[in-house]
Amino acid sequence: MNYFWIYDIPMICSFLIVVGLITAFSIGGIFVFKFYISRWWEGHDNNDQIAFYLSAIGVFYGITLGLLAAGIWQNFEDADDKVTTEASSIAALYRNVSSLPAPKGPILKEKLANYTHYVIYEAWPLHQRGIATTDGTKLLNDFQSVLYTFEPATLRETTLFEEAIQQYSKTIELRRQRLSSVESGMPMVVWLVIFIGAFVTLVICWMFNIPTLKLHIILNGLIGVTIGSLIYLILMFDYPFRGALSISSDAYLQVYKQIMK
């Protein structure tokens, strides 16, 4: 099931689509079940028994949705922190190589600036489409080939070279983590459980024999909006680099404009 198009439309539209469909389904089921409820229950009032099962299932489903939402938000925050840390690591690496003597120092500065420019203006638009491009590997390999051929002549240069090596290794590791976060999302089986739980909850709500149809519609509508909003929240933060609420490249842009230009 490909639902990635939901990230490419305005947030208000995606919210109305997701929440609206679930709410409409929640209300529509009333009219389907209303015809059969009086026959099935044969005039008996089973609302108390239905309420008991709804509360039991609602607790488990509500806790599950809440934990999933909290976990997705934590993953989003972790990805954002890694992006900020990677940008800081690039800035520190740039300052280290800036102190190296010519000709290697200026060459390394230029290559690192080119890589940062690539991340901002080429890699990031692809990230927002869910593509973890590895074209930046060549730029980093070129940087590495120059860095590793540098031969320090003084104790100061040795210290700067060692720090540059450490920052470069850190940058590589953080880049790998960023790329892995671009395409990572919840498994389809988790989404299946979410929608099965929502369906079961709504079916139980349809079984209530409420004489006032308007009240039944309002109550089911509110339940649909609540479930739809939670599912929408999980959906928007499932892929940290996609959608209107995605992680931006501002951290790299600040480094590029304030330090490298």
* pLDDT grade for 136, boundaries at 50, 70 and 90: very high
The letter for the amino acid at 127 is: H
Of 226, 230, 224, 225, residue with least CA distance to 205? 224
Residues 6+ apart with CB under 8 A from 59: none
The letter for the amino acid at 231 is: I
Spatial separation of the C-alpha atoms in residues 142 and 129, rounded to whole Å:
27
Residues 6+ apart with CB under 8 A from 48: none
Say if residue 72 is exposed, middle or buried (CB neighbours under 10 Å; 0-12, 13-18, 19+): buried
Residue 248 predicted with pLDDT over 90: yes
Which pLDDT does position 261 carry in this prediction?
81
Which pLDDT does position 195 carry in this prediction?
95
Which pLDDT does position 215 carry in this prediction?
94
The encoded tokens of residue 208 equal: 């209530």
Check: CB of residue 94 under 8 Å from CB of residue 113: yes
Domain ranges of the chain: 23-35+45-260
Q: Read off the pLDDT of residues 92-128 as tens digits, 9 standing for 90 and up.
A: 999 999 999 999 999 999 999 999 999 999 999 999 9
Summarize the confidence of residues 9-35 as an average pLDDT.
Answer: 93
Distance of CA 96 to the CA centre of its chain: 33
Which pLDDT does position 183 carry in this prediction?
86
Averaged confidence pLDDT in the chain: 92
Which pLDDT does position 151 carry in this prediction?
92
Spatial separation of the C-alpha atoms in residues 132 and 125, rounded to whole Å:
10
Q: What is the DSSP string of 3-41?
A: -GGGGGS-HHHHHHHHHHHHHHHHHHHHHHHHHHHHHHH
Say if residue 46 is exposed, middle or buried (CB neighbours under 10 Å; 0-12, 13-18, 19+): middle
Which pLDDT does position 238 carry in this prediction?
93
* pLDDT grade for 210, boundaries at 50, 70 and 90: confident
Distance of CA 8 to the CA centre of its chain: 14
The letter for the amino acid at 58 is: G
Exposure of 109 in the CB half-sphere (CA atoms within 13 A): 15
pLDDT top residue among 211 and 217:
217
Q: Read off the pLDDT of residues 45-100 as tens digits, 9 standing for 90 and up.
A: 788 888 999 999 989 998 999 899 999 999 999 999 999 999 999 999 999 999 99
Residue 221 predicted with pLDDT over 90: yes
**End-to-end CA, the chain:** 44
